[in-house]
Amino acid sequence: MEILEIAGVELEGVSACVPARAVDVVESLVPLVGDNAAGVVEATGIRTRRVAGAGTSAFDLCVAAAERLFAAAPDRAAYARSFGAVIFVSFTERTRMPSAAARAQARLGLPRDVLALDLLLACSGWVSGLHLAALIARETGRRVLLLDGDVQSARIGEGDASTLPLLSDGGTAAVVAPSPSAAPWRFAFMSDGAKGNALRLDDGGRISMDGFAVFKFVAGEVTAFLRDFLAAAPGGFDAFVPHQANMYMVRQLAKSLGIAPERLWTSGERLGNLASASVPATIAACAPAALRAGRTLDLFAAAFGGGLSAAAARLSLGPGARVELFDHEC
C-alpha cells in the first residue's frame, strides 16, 4: 500500500447543506414492502432521508453550503479572491457543460484565474477530492474550495426498495488552506473497476445497486484496506468518520477495525446516505460538539462504494475551523 503524505495544509472550514424536507423512511417504504418497512429501517438504521425539491441540483446545494463559509469571512470579496482552485465532486449533477466548477467560480465571485475542475466520482469522491485539493493548495499557496454533493432522490428507480431506504440529498463545501506548520495528512486509495457494475447509473440515469456485491466488497476488501492503512499510517485519532452507507455497516466496520463506539461519528440515522458528501456532512454534524478551544481534532476518514473504490485519509481539523450543518428550504 502506498501512503501519500501531504504537509502544509489545513481544513479551514466544512459546511453541509441538506434539504429541509426530511422523509420518514418507514412511511415511504410501506407502499413497497408493506409490514416489512419497520424491519428494513431497523436493519439499515437510516430513519429519515433528506429530499430536495424538484429542480434543485447538487450544484445549488453545494453553492449554498459555500455561501455560509464565505459569509463568515470578515471581507467576503477578499476571501473569495484568495482561492486558487475550485473542485466539484458529484455523479448526479444535471448540467455537465458548462461544468459546475466553472459555474461556481462565477456564482461565488472566485478569481478568473482559478483552476476549475469537475470530478465524476461517487462514494469515495470527497476523500479523493480532498487529496487533490491539498496538493493544489500546497503547490499554489492559495485556498482551494472543495464542493461535493448529490441529488440522488431524483435518480432512484420507481419501486426500488434497495436504494429508496438509503439514499439522500445534500451538498457540502470545504476549504483547504495553506498552513506551513500543519501536521501532514496521509491518504491511500483503492479501485477495483472490474466490480464496477455492482453500483452504477443505468442507461436511464437511475441508480442501480447490487447490494450484496457492494456489501461483500466493503466487508472484505475495504475492511482489509482500512486495516492496512491504519498499520501503515499509525497514530491515535479522535474520531473515525466513515461513509454513511448504512448504520449497520459503519458500526460493524468500526468494530472490525477495533475502533471504540465513542470514536465513531455518524449522521446517517437522520441524514441518510449522502453518497460522497456523507463524510464532510458527518464532520459538519459531529465536529461542533467535539471541537475544544485550542485543540486540533485528528480524524480518520474512510469512504467506499461506487467504482468500486475506497479511499482513506488521516487529516486534522483545527480549533479555528468553521464547521456547520444547516437545513435549506428547497
Partner 1 sequence: MNAEREFLDFAAGLFGVDPSALSLATAYGSLPEWDSVMHLRLVMEFEAKYGVSIALEEVPAMTTLGDFFAKAGKGGA
Residues in contact with partner 1 by CB under 8 A are: 35-36, 39-40, 42-44, 161-162, 165, 210-212, 214-216, 218-220, 223, 246, 248-249, 252-253, 255-256
Q: 44 vs 309, which CB is nearer to partner 1?
A: 44
- C-beta of 33: minimal distance to partner 1 in Å? 9
| Cα–Cα distance measured from residue 77 to residue 216, given in angstroms and rounded to the nearest whole number | 48
C-alpha cell at 291: 471541537
- The least CB distance from residue 221 to partner 1, in Å, is 10
Q: How far is the CB of 49 from partner 1 (least distance, A)?
A: 15
* Closest to 309 measured CA to CA, from 275, 265, 264, 284: 275
Cβ closest to partner 1, residue 140 vs residue 252: 252
Which residue's C-alpha cell is 486558487? 84
Least Cβ distance, residue 125 to partner 1 (angstroms): 22
Q: How far is the CB of 188 from partner 1 (least distance, A)?
A: 19
Nearer CB in complex with partner 1: 80/199: 199
Residue 69's closest CA among 11, 127, 14? 14
Distance from C-alpha of 139 to C-alpha of 119, rounded to nearest angstrom: 20
Question: Between 216 and 270, whose beta carbon lies closer to partner 1?
Answer: 216
Nearer to partner 1, 44 or 316 (CB): 44
CA pair distance 63, 14, nearest whole angstrom: 13
Name the nearest CA neighbour of 176 among 210, 209, 203, 139: 139
Is 147 or 253 the residue whose CB approaches partner 1 more closely? 253
Closest to partner 1 by CB, 36 or 95? 36
39: CB partners within 8 A, 6+ apart: none
Q: How far is the CB of 162 from partner 1 (least distance, A)?
A: 6
The set of residues, in sequence order, having a beta carbon less than 8 Å from that of 16 and lying 6+ positions away, is: 65, 170, 171, 172, 277, 280, 281, 283, 284, 285, 324, 325, 326
Are 321 and 294 within 8 A, CB to CB?
no
Going by C-alpha positions, the residue among 23, 57, 25 that lies closest to residue 330 is 57
Backbone angles phi, psi at 35, to 5 degrees: -65, -15
Report residue 218 as a C-alpha cell.
Answer: 466493503
Q: How far is the CB of 212 from partner 1 (least distance, A)?
A: 4
